[in-house]
Structure formats: C-alpha cells, structure tokens
C-alpha cells in the first residue's frame, strides 16, 4: 500500500464508525417490504440487521437467496432478519419477484428502504463523505435488549457467509450468561472456555499449570 493509499484509507470514516459493541442499536421507523416497522418492536428477540449495496446486483442476489433459504435456522434461534439498502420499496419488490421467479425462493424477512440514508448514516453503513450512496455490507447482531453484540463489515465485491452469521449468533447466545468464552472456530455442541480467574492467588495456586488461563468449561451449547 502506498503512503497515499494508506492516508486515504485512514482518513475515511470506517463503516460502523461511531457505534460500538455494547451500544444500544439506534431506533428507527421505516417502510419495508413487510410493512412499516420499528426496530424497537423487535425487542425480546435477537435481530440480525444488515445492509447491502444495491438491489439487482450479482453478489447481493446470492446473499439474499442464501439467507432466505436459511431463514428457518435464524427462526430456530429466535432471531429475526432485517435488511436495508438505499433502493426504493418498489425496487425491493421487483427484485424479490425476480429472485422468486429465478431461484424459487421467497424472501419473507423485511427489506427496508432508506433513500435518504438517515438509517445508513446512523449505523455507519456509509461514510459521510462518500460520493457513492450505496451502503457497504454491514451486519449488526442485536440482542433481545436492543444492544449491539457484534458487527462486521465486508466490501461490495465479497459476499458474506450465512453459516458464519449463524455460527456467530450461536456463539453469542452460548456465552450470553457470561460464564463461558467461545474459542476460535467454535461450533455448537463443542466446549466453551472458562473465564480465567482474575485473582493472583488463583494464578499462583495453579502449580505446574502454565496454561492456567486456558481451561475448557465443559459446557457447550447443545444444538
């Protein structure tokens, strides 16, 4: 990367800028393919809110086909899906009809229209100084209390992994009681790690155990 490119990339606000894990997800009301919706009406369930750059584009189409096919998996985890782009409601409708006719899948989760970018900007889905109004591929995992628990961001030219979205949701739910930690590549049914002790006495008492901080909890999420 040249200095110039580095400067350009660091001077841009990163997508998701301003929001952090643990923040309350900003509330909004909007028109969607399933009617008028308000984010706070989804309290009490998990919610995956995600943006896509544009309707009628190749990668986005593959993502929506994959997510519509996996929607039951999210439902089984008491998690709703909610998509958003700057395209109009009627563009969303036309695209969903095309997806149904071409792929035989009905996208039944809501897709929000955000033509003024008011939601996209609140969530950092577009950089304020971008001259392209398309949102990037962000994902916000929102818990039943309305707090953001994880987020990710992909460029327009790389599609997201539905299994990884489900795995992240499984991991967030499995560690929700605060007792366990999900290790790298964790899958439901596998052991979690134990929260390490924060007491120096415990550390010194763990004689001969150099990896005292790296213990399985024996608990897994049995899915």
Active site residues: 60
Do 80 and 169 form a contact (C-beta atoms < 8 A)?
no
Partners of 48 in beta bridges = 81, 141
Using the minimum distance from each CB to ligand BEZ, give the nearer residue, 140 or 154. Answer: 154
Q: How far apart are CA 218 and CA 28, in angstroms?
A: 41
Sign of the torsion formed by the C-alpha atoms of 37, 80, 87 and 148: positive
For the bound state, the minimum distance from the C-beta of residue 170 to ligand BEZ, rounded and expressed in Å, comes to: 26
For the bound state, the minimum distance from the C-beta of residue 183 to ligand BEZ, rounded and expressed in Å, comes to: 32
For the bound state, the minimum distance from the C-beta of residue 56 to ligand BEZ, rounded and expressed in Å, comes to: 9
Partners of 35 in beta bridges = 32
Three-state DSSP state, 196:
coil
Query: Which residues of the chain form contacts with ligand BEZ (CB under 6 A)?
Result: 53-54, 57-60, 156-157
For the bound state, the minimum distance from the C-beta of residue 20 to ligand BEZ, rounded and expressed in Å, comes to: 27
Q: CB atoms < 10 A from the CB of 7, how many?
A: 11
Query: 80 vs 11, 149, 194, CA distance in Å?
Result: 35, 15, 29
């Amino acid at each position: 990367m040249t200095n110039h490119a580095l400067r350009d990339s660091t001077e841009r606000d990163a997508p998701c800028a301003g929001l952090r894990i643990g923040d309350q997800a900003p509330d909004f009301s909007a028109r969607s393919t399933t009617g008028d919706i308000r984010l706070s009406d989804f309290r009490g369930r998990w919610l995956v809110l995600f943006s896509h750059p544009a309707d009628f584009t190749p990668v986005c189409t593959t993502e929506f086909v994959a997510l519509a096919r996996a929607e039951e998996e999210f439902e089984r985890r008491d998690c709703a899906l909610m998509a958003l782009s700057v395209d109009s409601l009627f563009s969303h409708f036309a695209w969903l009809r095309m997806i149904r006719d071409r792929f035989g899948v009905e996208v039944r989760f809501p897709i929000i229209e955000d033509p003024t970018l008011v939601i996209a900007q609140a969530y950092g889905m577009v950089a304020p100084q971008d001259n392209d109004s398309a949102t990037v591929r962000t994902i916000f995992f929102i818990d039943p209390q309305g707090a953001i628990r994880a987020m990710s961001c992909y460029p327009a030219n790389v599609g997201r992994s539905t299994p990884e979205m489900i795995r992240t949701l499984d991991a967030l739910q499995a560690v929700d009681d605060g007792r366990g930690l999900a290790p790298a590549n964790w899958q439901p049914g596998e052991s979690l790690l134990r929260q390490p002790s924060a007491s120096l006495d415990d550390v010194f008492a763990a004689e001969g155990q150099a990896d005292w901080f790296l213990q399985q909890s024996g608990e897994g999420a049995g899915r």
